[in-house]
Chains A and B, each alone.
Chain A
Amino acid sequence: MWIDLAITMVKIIFILAITVGFFAPVLTWVERKQSALMQDRVGANRADILGFTALGLFHIISDAVKMFTKEDFIPQGANRALHTLAPIIALVPALLTFAVIPFGGQYTLWGQEVNLVISDLDVGLLFVFAIASLATYGYVVAGWSSNNNWSLLGSMRTASQMISYEVTMGLTIIGVLMVYGSMQLTQIGAAQESFFRWGIFLQPLGFIMFFASAIAENKRVPFDAPEAESELVAGYFTEYSGIKFGMFFMAEFIEMVTIGAIITILFFGAWHIPFLSTATLLSMFDFLGDSFANLAVMLIHVGVFFGKVTFLIFMQMVVRWTLPRFRYDQIMKLGWKILLPLSLANVLITGIVILALN
C-alpha cells in the first residue's frame, strides 16, 4: 500500500519535473531558436550571465523572472474573480491529462511491479478527451471576463474552433480503437511491439487527420485565428500580463507535449524500438542480473518515448513556420466539411478491412 503510494509519488514528480520543469521552459527557447533558423536569423542570444549566453538558454531564466515581477493587470470593469480564475482553469487540465499517459511499459524491479503510468485507467483515452476539453472553459472565461472587445471575439472563436475540432478528433481515433480493441493507453502501447503493428501503418489517414485536428485544438499556427495577432491584438489573453499571461503560454506548450505523447502512443509504437522487442532487449542486458536488466530496459524505453515525443513537438514547430494562418471560415470548413466526412469514411473502411481480414 505505502510502497505503491511512494511509487505513484515518484512518477508524479517525474512527470511534473519533465513537463513544467523541462519541456515547457525549454520549448520556449527551442521555438525561438528554430524560428530563427527557419527565418535565417541569429535568434535569441542576448540574455547573459557574466558574459556567457549559452546559446540564449538564459532567456528562459530571464523570462521567468520577468513574468513573476510584472504588474498583475486587471482592466476596469473586468470580472476580477473570473479574470484570475481563467489561467488556472487553462493550466490544470493541461497537466492533469498526463495522469493516464504511459511513458514506458511494465517492469519488475526487485520483486516490485512498476507500471510507468500514474493512473492506469481502462478509459484512458476518454479521460484525456474529457479533461482536455475542460480547458476550453479557461479560454472562454478569459475572454469573457476581460471586458474587452478583442478578448471576447477571440474567446468566441476559440470556443467554436475547439468544439468543432473535438468532434473530428474523437472520430479520427475511433479507427485506432477498432484496430487495438482497447481504450487503455498502456494496452494500445503494448500492442505495438512489432514494427509493422504501429498505428501509422494501420491507420495512416487517421494519423494525418488526428495530427491536424490536434494542432487546431491547441490553437497553434496555422489554426491560430483565436489569437490572431494581426486581427485581434492577442485574442482572448489581450488583457493578461505577467505570470497569468505566462500560464496561458505554459498551457499551450504543455499541450504540445501532450499531443506529442498521445500521437506517439497511438501511432508511433509508444516506447518500443523498431525491430527490437522487449524480450530481446532484456536478454542483451542479461549479464547485469534480472533487476538491473529491467532497470536498464526501463531507462532505454523512457528515453525512446521522450525522444519520439520531442520529434513530434519539433514537427509541430516546423508546421508552424511553414504554413500561413488560415482564414476563420477556412478553418471551420476544414473541420466540418473535410475532416468530419473523411473520418466517418475512415471508420467505415477500417470496419470493412478488419472484417475482411478476420
Chain B
Amino acid sequence: MLASYTGAAILLLISTVIAVGMVVAGSLLGPKREFPDKMEPFECGESPIVSPYQRFSVKFYLVAVLFILFDVEVVFLFPWAIIYKKLGLFGLIEMTVFLVILGVGLMYVWIRGGLDWE
C-alpha cells in the first residue's frame, strides 16, 4: 500500500531539488546592483503612499467560508460516486436528499446576495 507512494515521493524530492536549484542559480548568476529608488515597490513610478497591508473587502472572506462548506460536500460525494452502481436506487434517493439540502443552502446564500459582486 505504502509502496505505491514511493514513486510520488521520489518525484516530490526531485521536483523540489529542481525548483530550489533554479532559485539558487538565478540568485547566483544575476547581478546585484541596489539603490534606494530601485528597491521601492512598484507603484507606476510614484513612491507608495499606503501600505498594502490593510483591510480588504469582506467578500473574499465570504467566498472562503462558502468554499469550505461546499468543498466538504464534494468530498462526501466522491466515495458515493465510486460505489454508486452497487448502491442503486437507495443511493440515488439518499444523495438526492443530500443534494436538495445542499441546494437549499446554495439558494439561501444566493437570495441573501452572498454571491453578488458589485
- Chain A positions near chain B (C-beta within 8 angstroms): 5, 8-9, 11-12, 15-16, 20, 67-73, 75-78, 84, 87-88, 91-92, 95-96, 98-100, 118-121, 126-127, 146-152, 156, 159-160, 163-164, 166-167, 170-171, 174-175, 177-178, 181-183, 233, 238-239, 242-244, 246-247, 328-329, 332-333, 336-337, 340-341, 344, 347-348, 351-352, 354-355, 358
A348 to B51, CA, bound (A): 48
Contact in complex: A71, B92 (CB < 8 Å): no
Contact in complex: B30, A71 (CB < 8 Å): yes
Contact in complex: A341, B106 (CB < 8 Å): yes
A88 to B116, CA, bound (A): 34
Per-position contact with A for B17-37: 1 when CB-CB < 8 Å, else 0?
011101101110111110010
Interface size class of B (residues with CB under 8 A): 35 or more
**Pick from B52, B91, B96: contact of A147, CB under 8 Å:** B52
A214 to chain B, nearest CB (A): 15
Tell me which residues across on chain B come within 8 A of A70, comparing CB atoms: 26, 30
Contact in complex: B22, A71 (CB < 8 Å): no
Contact in complex: B4, A119 (CB < 8 Å): yes
**With contact pairs A12-B11, A333-B117, A336-B115 given, residues A88 and B23 touching in the complex (Cβ less than 8 Å):** yes
**With contact pairs A147-B41, A177-B82 given, residues A329 and B118 touching in the complex (Cβ less than 8 Å):** yes
Closest residue on chain A to residue B88 by CB atoms? A355
Contact in complex: A148, B52 (CB < 8 Å): yes
B78 to chain A, nearest CB (A): 7
Contact in complex: B16, A88 (CB < 8 Å): yes
Contact in complex: B81, A177 (CB < 8 Å): yes
